[in-house]
Structure 1
């Protein structure tokens, strides 16, 4: 009887794992953003890297010991709720970890993760 109860409970737990809908991995984060790719991304990136504020931030960060990962590593996302386009420019710090420099409409917002 003890073995039967153990097998029954184990089978019940396994059944619940596969039958119950939903997964914390697939759960909605509440962020309504989407990546921008292709020609639209290229236009946004070209406009950013020709911007004087970006050039100043890039130069200052290189003097502080950061290294720029290049144009290919730049990420562009659009906040679908309010239409804001954010650009993340990855730099490698002195420790070798990646930090994203965030820009919106060509203006520097800050570094993530912040110091």
Structure 2
């Protein structure tokens, strides 16, 4: 009797798994989670590519390991700035001259978001974030 019940319940479970309609797993939106670089014309008219995925991560890793970034972070932390973390860092390549710019967001003492832009692991300029 136990074998009959086990086979009957096993058959019902198999039927439910293989014959049930629909798929509960939904794919993410491709446009928002793509790891492919996106080429755009920015507001400044620049021909840039937003780097993502492994290429972005490698550039960010190299920047975070550099002495210049550590010095900038330390200096501005003393002034009351806070670093927002690596997840918010933006990496952009200018397609005209192949320059790679890394935008690192910090928060100033007043709570405003400020972008520290690095070029070749050196601080190039500081810009308030565009809203």
TM-score by length of 2: 0.64
- Determine which structure has more spread, i.e. the larger CA radius of gyration: 2
The alpha-carbon deviation at position 105 of structure 1 amounts to 0.8
Q: Tell me the equivalent position of 1:74.
A: 89
Counterpart selection for 2:109 from 67, 70, 94: 94
* Residue 32 (structure 1) aligns with: 47
Count of residues in correspondence between the two structures: 88
Q: TM-score scaled by structure 1? A: 0.72
RMSD over aligned CA atoms reads 1.8
Equivalent residue, structure 2, for 1:50: 65
In structure 2, relative to structure 1, the CA distance for the partners of 1:58 and 1:80 (3 Å cut) is same
Contact 2:42 2:48 in 1 (8 A): no
| Change over 3 Å in CA distance of 1:28–1:104 after alignment to 2 | closer
Q: Which runs of 5+ in 2 are unaligned?
A: 1-40
Gaps in structure 1 of 5+ consecutive residues:
1-25
Q: Which has the higher contact order (CA 8 A, sep 6+)?
A: 1
Give secondary structure in 2 for the equivalent of 1:90: strand
